[in-house]
Amino acid sequence: MLATRGLTWRIGEVAIVDSVDLDLAPGEFLGVIGPNGAGKTSLFNLITGLRRPTEGRVTLDGRDISALPPYQRARLGLGRTFQASSVFGSLSVRENVRLAVQAHRGGSMKLWRRAAADREVAAAADAALHRVGLAHRGDALAGTLAHGEKRKLEIALLLAGEPRVMLLDEPMAGVSAEDVPELVQVIRSLTGDSGRAVLMVEHHMDVILELADRIAVMHHGALLACDTPETVMANPTVQEAYLGESL
Ligand SMILES: Nc1ncnc2c1ncn2[C@@H]1O[C@H](COP(=O)(O)OP(=O)(O)OP(=O)(O)O)[C@@H](O)[C@H]1O
């Protein structure tokens, strides 16, 4: 579904991302881990098009998307969690998701009668809120949400774009320990039988181990290992890379 081949991003002589070959199958959940500064976010930036690789390519369903800007990759089904800045704090949670649905459906909505289009948008937004367990907070101002709820809203905004591949960059960041299990359930439901694939960077190893079908380990920009959680955890090279850091 999604693949990278020889994906490399250099700044001067330093390879921040170094010849990474990754494959993500439909319905698969791939966790990406690695010590601080290993290049995980940079890898995401290359995949979503925020950065252009120095070498190598990214393909989606076999099509080379390396030269496409982020919005075109998003249209093809590649979605990344919105940064907190793209949430309108003074609008309600429901209005935020409606705007995201509208933005995604854009041109095609023009063919609809206004009232029917509004109903369609409202239904899609409510479905996304329901998926992430935020239906009861639809009327709350987005700026008043707790951290865990904000993360759920970001996932709902992403779902509004109907992505086939979702990239989640540290979805547990800032979430309090008691909110983690519920968010894990929401994230688990993103793959399921939909065929949607998820690529997730996360520092919480317990979360990665609970969710991931396979784990990719990055170190100094390169892919150290990519295998089942059991095999990766037993890999001595991986353990060595993490010396001095908690796995
Ligand atoms: N625009 C840039 N200019 C210079 N160096 C950069 C740039 N972006 C990233 N780097 C460097 O590249 C390395 C990898 O950064 P990156 O943020 O991709 O790592 P990471 O694995 O996501 O780290 P963390 O786990 O701390 O978020 C770091 O040493 C970082 O300082």
Q: Which of 41, 83, 223 best tests ligand 1's pocket when mutated (most atoms within 8 Å of CB)?
A: 41
Ligand 1 midpoint to CA 15 (Å): 11
* Whether the Cβ atoms of residue 217 and residue 226 lie closer than 8 Å to each other: yes
Pocket of ligand 1 (CB under 6 A): 11, 16, 34, 36-42
Q: Would you give the distance in Å from CA 65 to the centre of its chain?
A: 17
Q: Is the pLDDT reported for residue 161 higher than 90?
A: no
What is the b/e burial string over 10-23, where b = at least 16 CB atoms within 10 angstroms of the residue's CB?
eeeeebbbbebebe
Which CATH code of 3.90.1150.10, 3.40.50.300, 3.30.300.30, 3.30.540.10 fits the domain covering 1-77+163-247?
A: 3.40.50.300
Which tens digit of pLDDT belongs to each residue from 35-85? 889 999 999 999 999 999 999 999 999 999 999 999 899 989 999 875 555
Q: Whose CA is nearest to atom 8 of ligand 1?
A: 42
Q: Whose CA is nearest to atom 10 of ligand 1?
A: 16
Q: Would you give the distance in Å from CA 247 to the centre of its chain?
A: 21
ipTM above 0.90, yes or no: yes
Q: Which of 14, 16, 40 best tests ligand 1's pocket when mutated (most atoms within 8 Å of CB)?
A: 16
What atom in ligand 1 is closest to the CA of residue 44?
18
Helical axes 147-160 vs 180-188, angle rounded to 10°? 10
Ligand 1 midpoint to CA 172 (Å): 19
Ligand 1 midpoint to CA 39 (Å): 5
Of 189, 186, 134, 190, residue with least CA distance to 167: 190
Neighbours of 181 (CB within 10 A): 10
Q: Which of 9, 10, 36, 40 best tests ligand 1's pocket when mutated (most atoms within 8 Å of CB)?
A: 40
| Residue 94, H or E segment | helix 93-109
Does the predicted TM-score (pTM) go above 0.95? Answer: no
- C-alpha Rg value of the chain to the nearest Å: 18
Which tens digit of pLDDT belongs to each residue from 171-215? 888 888 998 999 999 999 888 767 899 999 998 889 999 999 999
Which tens digit of pLDDT belongs to each residue from 142-154? 999 988 899 899 9
At position 102, the amino acid (one-letter code) is Q
Ligand 1 midpoint to CA 155 (Å): 24
Q: How confident is the model at residue 165 (pLDDT cuts 50, 70, 90)?
A: very high
* Highest mean pLDDT (candidates 104-108, 114-118, 227-231): 227-231
Ligand 1 midpoint to CA 4 (Å): 19
Ligand 1 midpoint to CA 67 (Å): 22
* Whether the Cβ atoms of residue 142 and residue 153 lie closer than 8 Å to each other: yes
Indicate where the chain has its CATH 3.40.50.300 domain(s).
Answer: 1-77+163-247
Strand 165-169 versus strand 197-201 pairing type = parallel
Which tens digit of pLDDT belongs to each residue from 110-142? 656 677 778 889 999 999 999 999 999 999 999
Which tens digit of pLDDT belongs to each residue from 19-40? 999 999 999 999 999 988 999 9
Task: Record the tokens describing residue 46, joined without a space.
Answer: 């290359």
Contacts with 129 (C-beta within 8 Å, 6 or more apart), sequence order: 93, 94, 97, 135, 137, 138, 156
Give the separation between CA 97 and CA 155, rounded to whole angstroms: 10
* Whether the Cβ atoms of residue 165 and residue 79 lie closer than 8 Å to each other: yes
